[in-house]
């Protein structure tokens, strides 16, 4: 389901003001279904803030966010996952004292239909639901090749694996739109290559649209269909990866000339 | 080391992971059911106190150990449960099991009413708010004489189960045991399903819990409700155990004892409630035994019990933050994978890599 203009997600003149600072200023863009759309920009450009606006952790000062034709500008944060928007965090926000499996099962929370009373008695319905969650989660584990880590505590896992677990947890929510906040930061070249393949799989096999923030231009060029460049809360340029990289304003923003 | 060959997802959901658990827990169950046949009356009485403490401990564990919200006021909910239970039994004439449940619901009502405004706070501020609540409730116990008997307190009769008047410690022992088993199973069920996972998610990272579709406020209020319900039920039992309830029975020291119990037992595990309950219930007896041996200059120091409780709490926080259950897990793992045990397995990791917290 999309908006009349064919957009999956539409950001319309997004603005947020923290005191005297406009972290995001009149940012508009449109994400079409099935594409990988990347936001690039130097540190402090307001990229993560845009994510926090879409996942409704922050309230916009001005502007609108439309997802699948619904205005989600005022939808509470905990309902966003249910609507089909999942996200990862720049610096990994996993549930560290739990196992990988447990983390992914929490990702299933927004699809849960049991209530407190059936859970206390652990009725057959609850058991059925748990098994259903587990099967969905196992599919994601297969896709991202996490079988080996399934029962391990997050605190014992290396950074690269944690990044993958976070991606897996976001996928467990069965999203339509996946927000990836710097998925390749802290990954080595090999892991980044794997990530590029996974992103392709997610896009082509799971048919999930991806909105991504990323600094690694190699990865950006490889997977993105369209790129948006931001600096100091404003849009600098939009277009294909190569086109945006050549754009004079973008070059200036990065080199500071 | 035991290697479990898993052939079905149900194996990960079951109450007991493998046959070994069934055997040991079964044996434990038989032992506690047979215990009154061999133990002297005094110990039977002490054991029922352990069970009551364990129920209260589970209540606090749900809140502090699993949802990560500290409470310094749980004695108040024990008190509410105790007075409510006694009121329903004596003044209204509700049969014992229903009165116990009603006591739980009254306590949960207070808990939820407190939680709704208080859950905007976290950490130390929430702890202070719960402390303030407990002080207020203690005043209410003292002054609402028509229900609570005021400062003079009220006597509590032995439980009457649908016309069958229980008389001995042994009868009461079995009542406490059954309540404990029911509460333990219910809590365990909750923890292995969505609500329990949501609580633990909030404990570990509110921001990502929210992004996974967990309604933070509602889950916290639910945790408060369940926690205070269980504590209220424990209060109802405690009223019978004490045989006489007065406001000073539910003071700050009791709240701290409850907290001590779950920290010493092991935060974040149901087992911890039981270990902690044993420590808290038997320590006073142990101290009074030791007192006779110690020179009078040490043994007769006023406040010795409080001091020892405090010391134990500090030592555990410093040396074994995972409590008795944590120590047991480490010991077991050491032997299971001998000689490959690494001390770092249980090391607390420092969170250098946390997102800038948005709240």
User: Average pLDDT of B248-262?
Assistant: 90
The tokens for A27 are 């940012």
Contact in structure between B229 and B136 (CB atoms under 8 Å) = no
The tokens for B130 are 């719960």
Q: What are phi and psi of A229, to 5 degrees?
A: -105, 135
Residue B350 reports pLDDT greater than 80: no
> Taking the CB of residue B297, how many other CB atoms lie within 10 A of it?
7
pLDDT band at B355 (very low <50, low <70, confident <90, very high): very low
Question: What does the DSSP 8-state code read for residue B231?
Answer: H
Whether residues B12 and A77 touch (CB distance < 8 A) is answered with no
Q: For residue A136, give how far its alpha carbon lies from the nearest alpha carbon of chain B (Å).
A: 12
Q: State the 10-residue block means of pLDDT for chain A, 257 residues long.
A: 76 93 93 95 91 93 94 93 93 88 94 90 92 95 93 88 94 96 92 94 95 93 94 93 92 81
Q: CA A144 to CA A165: how far, in whole Å?
A: 9
Average pLDDT, chain B: 88
The number of C-alpha atoms within 13 Å of A114 and in the hemisphere containing its C-beta is: 29
Assembly ipTM? 0.87
Question: What does the DSSP 8-state code read for residue B39?
Answer: S
Comparing alpha-carbon positions, the chain B residue that sits nearest to A134 is B9
Go through the domains of chain B in sequence order and give each one's CATH number: 1-38 (no CATH), 39-346 (1.10.3470)
pLDDT at position B359: 39
Q: Is B221 on the interface with A (CB under 8 A)?
A: no
What are the tens digits of pLDDT across the range B5-63?
A: 888 888 888 888 788 889 999 999 999 999 999 999 889 999 999 999 999 999 999 99
Alpha-helical (H) ranges within B61-95 are 74-87
Comparing alpha-carbon positions, the chain B residue that sits nearest to A154 is B349
Query: What is the interface size between A and B, counted as CB pairs within 8 Å?
Result: 123
Go through the domains of chain A in sequence order and give each one's CATH number: 1-84+176-257 (3.40.50.300), 95-174 (no CATH)
The number of C-alpha atoms within 13 Å of A234 and in the hemisphere containing its C-beta is: 6
Of B192, B211, B355, the CB nearest to A81: B211
Residue B351 reports pLDDT greater than 70: no
Q: CA B223 to CA B227: how far, in whole Å?
A: 6
Alpha-helical (H) ranges within chain B are 10-13, 19-38, 41-60, 74-87, 96-118, 123-143, 145-148, 169-191, 194-204, 206-211, 216-242, 252-265, 270-293, 296-299, 304-319, 323-336
Q: For residue B65, give how far its alpha carbon lies from the nearest alpha carbon of chain A (Å).
A: 12
pLDDT at position B352: 45
Q: Is A220 on the interface with B (CB under 8 A)?
A: no
Contact in structure between A124 and B189 (CB atoms under 8 Å) = no
């Amino acid at each position: 389901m999309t908006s009349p203009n064919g957009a999956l997600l539409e950001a319309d003149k997004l603005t947020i003001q923290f005191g005297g600072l406009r972290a995001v200023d009149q940012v508009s863009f449109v994400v079409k279904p099935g594409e990988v759309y990347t936001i690039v920009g130097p540190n402090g450009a307001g990229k993560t803030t845009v994510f926090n606006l879409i996942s409704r952790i922050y309230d916009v000062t001005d502007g609108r966010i439309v997802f699948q034709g619904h205005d989600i500008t005022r939808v509470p944060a905990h309902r966003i996952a249910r609507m089909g928007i999942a996200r990862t965090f720049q610096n990994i926000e996993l549930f560290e004292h739990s196992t990988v499996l447990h983390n992914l099962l929490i990702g299933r929370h927004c699809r849960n239909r049991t209530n407190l009373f059936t859970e206390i008695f652990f009725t057959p319905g609850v058991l059925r639901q748990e098994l259903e969650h587990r099967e969905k989660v196992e599919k994601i584990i297969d896709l991202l090749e996490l079988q080996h880590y399934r029962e391990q505590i997050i605190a014992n896992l290396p950074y690269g694996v944690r990044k993958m677990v976070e991606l897996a947890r976001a996928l467990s929510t069965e999203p339509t739109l996946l927000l990836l906040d710097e998925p390749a930061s802290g990954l080595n070249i090999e892991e980044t290559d794997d990530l590029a393949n996974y992103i392709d799989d997610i896009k082509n096999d799971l048919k999930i649209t991806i909105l991504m923030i990323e600094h690694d231009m190699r990865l950006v060029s490889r997977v993105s269909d369209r790129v948006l460049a931001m600096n100091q809360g404003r849009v600098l340029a939009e277009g294909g990866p190569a086109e945006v990289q050549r754009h004079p304003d973008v070059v200036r923003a990065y080199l500071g000339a | 080391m035991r290697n479990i060959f898993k052939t079905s997802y149900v194996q990960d959901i079951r109450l007991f992971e493998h046959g070994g658990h069934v055997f040991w827990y079964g044996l434990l169950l038989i032992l506690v059911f047979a215990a009154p046949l061999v133990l002297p009356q005094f110990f039977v009485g002490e054991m029922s106190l352990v069970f009551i403490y364990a129920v209260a401990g589970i209540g606090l564990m749900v809140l502090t150990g699993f949802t990560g919200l500290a409470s310094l006021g749980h004695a108040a909910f024990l008190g509410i449960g105790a007075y409510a239970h006694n009121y329903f039994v004596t003044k209204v004439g509700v049969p014992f099991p229903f009165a116990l449940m009603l006591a739980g619901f009254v306590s949960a009502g207070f808990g939820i009413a407190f939680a709704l405004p208080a859950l905007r706070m976290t950490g130390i501020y929430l702890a202070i708010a719960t402390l303030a609540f407990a002080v207020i409730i203690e005043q209410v116990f003292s002054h609402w004489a028509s229900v609570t008997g005021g400062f003079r307190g009220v006597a509590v009769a032995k439980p009457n189960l649908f016309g069958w008047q229980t008389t001995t410690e042994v009868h009461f022992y079995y009542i406490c045991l059954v309540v404990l088993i029911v509460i333990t199973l219910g809590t365990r069920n909750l923890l292995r399903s969505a609500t329990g996972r949501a609580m633990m998610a909030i404990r570990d990272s509110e921001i990502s819990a929210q992004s996974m579709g967990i309604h933070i406020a509602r889950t916290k209020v639910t945790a408060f409700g369940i926690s205070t319900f269980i504590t209220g039920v424990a209060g109802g039992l405690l009223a019978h155990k004490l045989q006489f309830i007065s406001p000073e029975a539910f003071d700050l020291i009791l709240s701290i004892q409850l907290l001590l119990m779950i920290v010493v037992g092991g935060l974040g595990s149901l087992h911890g409630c039981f270990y902690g309950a044993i420590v808290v219930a038997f320590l006073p007896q142990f101290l009074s035994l030791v007192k006779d041996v110690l020179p009078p200059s040490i043994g007769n120091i006023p406040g010795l019990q409080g001091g020892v409780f405090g010391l134990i709490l500090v030592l555990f926080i410093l040396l074994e933050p995972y409590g008795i259950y944590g120590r047991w897990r480490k010991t077991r793992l050491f032997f299971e994978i001998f000689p490959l045990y690494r001390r770092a397995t249980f090391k607390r990791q420092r969170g250098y890599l946390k997102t800038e917290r948005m709240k």
